[in-house]
Amino acid sequence: MRNCKKISIPSHSTIKEAIETIDKGVMQIALVVDDDCLLGTITDGDIRRAFLNGSKLNDNIEGLYNTSPLTGRNDQSQEDLVQLALTRGIKQLPILDEDGRLIGIEYIDDYLRGPEKPNCVVLMAGGLGTRLRPLTAETPKPMLTVGSRPILETILDSFSRYGFRNFYFSVNYRAEKIREYFKDGSQYGANISYLNEKDRLGTAGALSLLPQDISEPIIVMNGDLLTNVNFDQLLNYHLLAKADATMCVREYTLQIPYGVVETEGARILGIEEKPTQNFFVNAGIYVLSPSALQLIPQESYFDMPQLFQSLVKSDRKACSFPITDYWMDIGQPNDFDQANSEYDEVFDV
């Protein structure tokens, strides 16, 4: 059970204070509490609806919060609490004692995450995000808010659900913003360390900053992606293939907007109207065995395609892992807008 003081606010709070409380916590909820008595709960959704109805930041939260939230008791088993929450489709369950006083909150994902894995996850979060300016003028791209939280937080939560606990964030541009927000990761049930790129090292070069004693395959992912890829399946596939490196790929269809003419000399043999061509493209998610890490030069600019080319040239085993799950590379303003419009439907938050 988690301590709920950080996400508790009194009933006389303003909407602005509720937003600040939700933002400081990691559970997308604030508890309205007076004298240890739970009066209700307020979420991002409640606040969005209030704004749509004309409420202002300095308005009181009275009438906005749910006064009949689902709660659990401290004498219920963990299995019963999880079942209760799943039945009602919620992820946060305030817990009351026998006298009805609030004593904590259960975050259901804590129980549904997979067993802890020894594998590290490296999230590449050092890019400049030039194509998304002015949004990234003061904010690193992985910290842009999509849905109700930064992109990087959604990625962290996705991995945590599959039992990954050990993370390295490769940082450069506006690194302090990322450090201040995530700190050491303990508030997320994770261990976060930082790879400091003094100079930009590309999509693979920063991996040379990892400790030398890594003995298990690592997963590397760009910090500006949103996806619901099954990371268990990805890792198991890599191990099954006994690969040195595995690259997630997506099918990309390109339609030529003209009739394509097939010729032989001056003679026309046929015309195909607006044909399509299918390709596999790099999805920015990789699994690398320690053997692949040995090919990365020390603190030099080195991109992931260069690493895979080196693997192929040295006759190492490089595999592809096709993904059909939701995947969005947030590189352009229209991608950012689309991700925000789809977020609530794709991610259960």
Query: Which positions are annotated as active-site residues?
Result: 274
Secondary structure (3-state) at 336: helix
- Cα separation, 157 vs 154, in Å, equals 5
Q: What is the DSSP letter of 243?
A: -
Structure-block tokens of residue 230: 């099954």
- Exposure b/e, 248-261, CB count within 10 A at least 16 = b: bbbeeeeeeeeeee
Look up residue 304 and give its DSSP letter.
H
Q: CA separation (Å) from 314 to 78, 160, 292, 317, 321?
A: 52, 34, 11, 9, 21
Bridging pattern class, strands 218-222 and 117-125: parallel
Contact status, residue 29 vs residue 22, Cβ threshold 8 Å: yes
Let me know the angle formed at the C-alpha of 29 by 23 and 35, rounded to the nearest 5 degrees.
105
From residue 57, alpha-carbon distances to 16, 18, 20, 50, 147 in Å are 5, 9, 11, 10, 19
